[in-house]
Amino acid sequence: MELDEFIDRHPRLWHMAEIENWQLIQEHGLLSTSALLDLFEYEGAARHVIEAAFRPESVVIEHPDLGKAVVRDQRPMISDSVVARYLDELSPEEWYRTLNRRVFFWVRERRLEKLLAAGLYRKRPHIVLVLDTRRLLARHLNRVTLSPLNSGAIFPAGKARRGPQTFSSFDDYPWSERIGQPEPVVELAVDHAVPTIADFLVDASERQAPPKH
């Protein structure tokens, strides 16, 4: 697929952020977990348990000058043992580090809506950021990877393998295998951080899934 065709298909990207992090995002951009831990000067064991281990619950980190930020849980990955069962060539620790160094975006809004409605999140509002794909790729394409699956969740029934092959640059993405699939691309990720988020922002709004009837 040519880059312009991809942008025409996906002119917008969606990211769901914790409300508590919104001020920090405006000041420092969208940060991966690793970049956030760099900013908050976390090192050693305190960093390892967040960056390289399974997070069953969200974690609040603190800094004397920056205040607090929330690092979201990884509960959709279920457990270390489940993650290990679906990994190729990587240990669970390596997989967590692979995820935590990226900022993730959905290329379809319905994926964002599904996440908002998930049991873990539906009872509270989040900040939803909508970014302009063309502007983002014009500046950060060399740090972008694409994924054909939801890398942050494990669905045992699906049996999708994960590993180094999960994330590919735009040019190396397996387009020939994916064209014709309902969702050729599921996620777009940027390595480390997206600073100056205002340069790409189309909309930022507080959203919550509608109540179940």
The string of pLDDT tens digits covering residues 151-210 is: 988 875 557 889 999 999 999 999 999 988 889 999 999 999 999 999 999 999 998 877
The string of pLDDT tens digits covering residues 83-108 is: 999 999 999 999 999 999 999 999 99
Q: What token pair was written down for 189?
A: 């990720």
Cα gap 37→71, rounded to integer Å: 9
At position 133, the amino acid (one-letter code) is T
Cα gap 183→104, rounded to integer Å: 16
At position 42, the amino acid (one-letter code) is Y
Domain ranges of the chain: 3-207
DSSP for 14-63 reads EEEE-GGGHHHHHHH-EE-HHHHHHHTT--HHHHHHHHSS--SS-EEEEE
Name beta bridge partners: 106. 14, 187
Can you give the pTM of this predicted structure? 0.94
